[in-house]
Amino acid sequence: MKIMKFGGTSVGKPERMKSIIPLIRGEESVVVVLSALSGTTNSLVEISELLYSGTKDQAVVKNEALRSKYHEVVEELYSTDTFVKEGHELVNSHFDFLGDIITNSFTKVQEKAILAQGELMSTGMFHKLLTENNIRSVLIPALNFMRIDKDGEPDAFYIAENFSRELANYPEEKIIVTQGFICRNAYGEIDNLKRGGSDFTASLIGAAINASEIQIWTDINGFHNNDPRFVGETKVIREISFDEAAELAYFGAKILHPSSVNPAREKNIPVRLKNTMDPQDEGTLITSVSALQDYKAVAAKDGITVFRIKSDRMLMAYGFIRKVFEIFEAYKTPVDMVTTSEVSVSITVDNPRFIQQIEQDLKELGSVEIEENQTIICIVGDFRTERTGSAPEIFEALNTIPLKMISYGGSPHSISLLIDSKDKIAALNLLNKYLFDQ
């Protein structure tokens, strides 16, 4: 069985959604994972933010504007009156549900239910589109099998058991449709796999059923060697390893959700990135094999905060770093980069939630400086420690950019640097020129 995940732009317009049909039709047996129509999750986030700030009236206006947009999509998507009518009913049922939450019962749990409506609608609409085109398919709700534990991590065992059980109900079906992104949490409430999480859904399902391939269909011809949103001359990478792709995704390459490579890597299932608007292009293949290259790709992750802890007690002391890390652990805040010197240690985090509390606790150990609005630049290439002369071009390229931290040797295939976010675009472009523009 193959997994085919289609992202927001791939289902964002009626003609795009229709163009998926020939892509899945030739498949022997496929699980189709869909995101919400592009822009929808952002609008739903805005609606819940309006509710948090107490501006209910504006939330109603936003909800009705989105409802109208969906009715327009329905008009173009279906060709028969019956399906147009059913499409409008489907859309209305979701927007009525949202309207009810907005006016009557907004709570933290309902916020997640609001965010889930995008994927629930896109899959409902697509399933109907297949039916209208006489293509048999079955819609299996992700809320029946996709689940995270109390730490917010996917429960792989539960997912495998429950998805297989659901599948067993439809032994004849060749096309299964389900929602990306949404899941239930350990308390059975509606939750999600964080923004961009449909990629993660695809990989989790792929691993759960030992799929032959996981395809991520998006709006670009695969993984590029730099961020196309900030750099003009980027090139597609045809083959990349799980480790390299995971590193780039974790450090900001938006094409993949940060955790999405892991389930595929664990089961050694190839991941193929493809462009819905250019299906003939081979895209990028992610496998366990890596063609070593001095420099393969660059990515950037914003929203980083650095803590600098300085203490004489660190000098020659054992256990000091443990005490520092225990503080981050206590606040469930993962650490990205670490560098140390004789009496100081610098640590970066991307989750700003407990910055103040962490700072307070760290002050027990020494003086603490904090800097926000930082960016990690990750360069993936061949940095095996036995090599000589690795990376001189990186430092030459960035000799006009202040480098705040350098992490080398943590991984044989990446180097990470910390810079000020205001220098990000310049740094990405300089690296492109020096590393790839030959």
Site for Mg ion, rule CB under 5 A: 7, 196
Q: Rounded distance, CA 275 to CA 282, Å?
A: 9
Cβ 125 to ligand ADP shortest distance, Å: 16
Distance from chain centroid for Cα 11: 17
Applying CB under 6 A, the span of 249-257, 312-320, 336-344, 413-421 interacting with ligand ADP comes to 249-257
The strand order across the sheet containing 405-411 reads 335-340, 344-349, 295-310, 367-381, 414-420, 405-411
Q: Residue 374's binding partner, choosing from ligand ADP, Mg ion, ligand ASP, none, with beta-carbon cut-off 5 to 8 A by kind?
A: none
Say whether residue 40 binds ligand ADP (CB under 6 A).
no
35 versus 137: smaller Cβ distance to ligand ASP: 35
Q: Rounded distance, CA 220 to CA 273, Å?
A: 9
Residue 287 carries which DSSP code?
A: E
Say whether residue 7 binds ligand ADP (CB under 6 A).
yes
Number of residues that bind ligand ADP (CB under 6 A): 18
Cβ 5 to ligand ASP shortest distance, Å: 8
Q: How far is CA 237 from CA 77, 220, 228, in A?
A: 34, 12, 13
23 versus 309: smaller Cβ distance to ligand ADP: 23
Cβ 41 to ligand ASP shortest distance, Å: 3
**Do 324 and 347 touch, CB atoms closer than 8 A?**
yes
Say whether residue 220 binds ligand ADP (CB under 6 A).
yes
Say whether residue 197 binds ligand ADP (CB under 6 A).
no
Number of residues assigned to the chain = 438
Cβ 200 to ligand ASP shortest distance, Å: 8
Among 16, 94, 147, 224, binds ligand ADP (CB under 6 A): 224
Applying CB under 6 A, the span of 61-69, 94-102, 128-136, 247-255 interacting with ligand ADP comes to 247-255
Rg value, the chain, Cα: 23
Q: Residue 87's binding partner, choosing from ligand ADP, Mg ion, ligand ASP, none, with beta-carbon cut-off 5 to 8 A by kind?
A: none
Q: Residue 190's binding partner, choosing from ligand ASP, ligand ADP, Mg ion, none, with beta-carbon cut-off 5 to 8 A by kind?
A: none
Say whether residue 376 binds ligand ADP (CB under 6 A).
no
261's tokens: 């490579």
| Helix (H/G/I), strand (E/B), else coil: 134 | coil
Applying CB under 6 A, the span of 44-52, 134-142, 224-232, 327-335 interacting with ligand ADP comes to 224-232
| Strand (E) or helix (H) holding 10 | none
Say whether residue 141 binds ligand ADP (CB under 6 A).
no
**Do 119 and 179 touch, CB atoms closer than 8 A?**
yes
Q: Residue 197's binding partner, choosing from Mg ion, ligand ASP, ligand ADP, none, with beta-carbon cut-off 5 to 8 A by kind?
A: ligand ASP
229 versus 332: smaller Cβ distance to ligand ADP: 229
Q: Rounded distance, CA 222 to CA 169, Å?
A: 35
113's tokens: 């239910």
Cβ 193 to ligand ADP shortest distance, Å: 12
7 versus 283: smaller Cβ distance to Mg ion: 7
Residue 278 carries which DSSP code?
A: -
| Strand (E) or helix (H) holding 138 | strand 138-139
Say whether residue 223 binds ligand ADP (CB under 6 A).
yes
Report the candidate in 401, 395, 406 with the shortest Cα–Cα distance to residue 427.
Answer: 401
The pattern of x and - marking residues 279 through 318 that bind ligand ADP according to CB under 6 A reads --------------------x-------------------
Q: Residue 195's binding partner, choosing from ligand ASP, ligand ADP, Mg ion, none, with beta-carbon cut-off 5 to 8 A by kind?
A: ligand ASP
CB atoms within 10 A of CB 308: 18
**Do 346 and 308 touch, CB atoms closer than 8 A?**
yes
Write b or e for each residue in 115-130: b if 16 or more Cβ atoms lie within 10 A of its Cβ, otherwise e.
bbbbbbbbbbbbbbbb
Report the candidate in 223, 161, 154 with the shortest Cα–Cα distance to residue 191.
Answer: 154
Amino acid at 131: T
**Do 224 and 234 touch, CB atoms closer than 8 A?**
yes
Cβ 7 to Mg ion shortest distance, Å: 5
Helices and strands, counts by H and E, the chain: 13, 16
Say whether residue 35 binds ligand ADP (CB under 6 A).
yes
Cβ 39 to ligand ADP shortest distance, Å: 10
Cβ 40 to ligand ASP shortest distance, Å: 7
Question: Footprint of ligand ADP on this chain (CB under 6 A)?
Answer: 7-10, 35, 196, 218-220, 223-224, 227-229, 253-255, 299
